[in-house]
């Protein structure tokens, strides 16, 4: 791989870039097909970029539904038809007779699954519904989770393993906020969203705990734009929905949506 390719990616992404390029080379030169673990949108973007650099390779992505955030990829020689291929995913359906079950959230389910020693890369999107939760999982860990997941945040649960066609998708809910900010800088908008001082919000950003569109960003002065998704470890995620005009005092009107 040409060393210049690294210029397009954050230094923390180099390990994944190397692995992904190996999948591409193996597909193009040795006719191998690779089924990846679940990729986040940033990793998918990196893989797509590398696939596009090789004339004899293509890839297919699947996460259970059209707008899946996390997907598995099949990387293969371009002569292989991937349109009907199985990307090896199932639905872990979680239910309970306990009324406390209704108060469980996305993080509770994630924590309980990871608490069984499962890697995050084996888990796709998590959909929380009033009557239960559907977790997209890799085939190879489905049976293990079905047998071993019996509690979520101290609530007794039951599980079932379903084909991916039975996935019930949760609609993304956003709590909208209308802000007026001095600038469209990352630290300024994030401090208002999370109700923290600018000096406190800068700490996790500079420590590499902030991602914009799933890419690590350490520059608090980065200018945000419509559609940007910002996630900060320990604080949750928000999306910039709209950057409007200026107020009479010269401040920017911004509408954001916090993921609930």
Q: Where are the domains of the chain?
A: 3-77, 89-166, 174-259
Helix axes 198-206, 186-193, angle to 10 degrees: 110
Strand ranges of the sheet holding 210-212, from the earlier edge strand across to the other edge: 174-181, 252-259, 236-246, 229-232, 210-212, 215-216
Q: What is the structure's pLDDT at 1?
A: 58
First to last CA, the chain: 41
- The C-alpha atoms of residue 146 and residue 125 are separated, in whole angstroms, by 17
Q: Report residue 233 as tokens.
A: 């470890």
User: How would you write the pLDDT of the chain (260 residues) with one tens digit per residue?
Assistant: 555 677 778 888 999 999 999 999 999 999 999 999 999 999 999 999 999 999 999 999 999 999 999 999 999 999 999 988 999 999 999 999 887 788 888 889 999 999 999 999 999 999 998 888 999 999 999 999 999 999 998 899 999 999 999 999 988 788 999 999 999 999 999 999 999 999 999 999 999 999 999 999 999 999 999 999 999 998 999 999 999 889 999 999 999 999 87
Assigned CATH topology for domain 3-77: Ribosomal Protein S8; Chain: A, domain 1 (3.30.1370)
Q: Report residue 121 as tokens.
A: 């890369």
236 dihedral zone (left: phi>0; alpha: psi -120 to 50; beta): left
CATH code assigned to 89-166: 3.30.70.330
Where does the chain have alpha helices with state H?
Answer: 14-30, 41-51, 106-114, 139-148, 186-193, 198-206
CATH code assigned to 174-259: 3.10.290.10
**DSSP SS3 for 154:** coil
- The C-alpha atoms of residue 149 and residue 118 are separated, in whole angstroms, by 11
Q: What is the structure's pLDDT at 6?
A: 74
């Amino acid at each position: 791989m040409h060393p210049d390719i690294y210029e397009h990616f954050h230094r923390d992404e180099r390990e994944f870039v190397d692995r992904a390029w190996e999948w591409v080379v193996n597909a193009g030169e040795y006719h191998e097909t690779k089924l990846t673990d679940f990729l986040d949108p940033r990793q998918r973007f990196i893989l797509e970029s590398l696939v596009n650099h090789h004339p004899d390779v293509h890839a297919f992505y699947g996460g259970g539904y059209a707008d899946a955030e996390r997907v598995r990829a099949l990387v293969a020689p371009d002569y292989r038809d991937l349109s009907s291929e199985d990307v090896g995913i199932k639905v872990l359906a979680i239910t309970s007779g306990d009324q406390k079950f209704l108060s469980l959230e996305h993080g509770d389910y994630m924590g309980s699954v990871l608490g069984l020693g499962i890697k995050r890369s084996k888990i796709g999107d998590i959909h929380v519904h009033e009557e239960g939760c559907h977790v997209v999982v890799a085939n190879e860990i489905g049976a293990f989770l079905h047998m071993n997941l019996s509690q979520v945040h101290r609530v007794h649960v039951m599980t079932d393993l379903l084909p991916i066609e039975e996935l019930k998708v949760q609609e993304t809910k956003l709590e909208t906020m209308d802000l007026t900010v001095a600038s469209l800088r990352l630290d300024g908008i994030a401090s208002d969203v999370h109700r923290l001082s600018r000096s406190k919000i800068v700490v996790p950003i500079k420590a590499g705990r902030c991602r914009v569109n799933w890419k690590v960003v350490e520059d608090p002065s980065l200018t945000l734009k419509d559609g940007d998704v910002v996630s900060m470890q320990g604080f949750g995620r928000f999306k910039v929905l709209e950057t409007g005009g200026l107020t009479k005092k010269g401040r920017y009107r911004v509408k954001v949506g916090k993921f609930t």
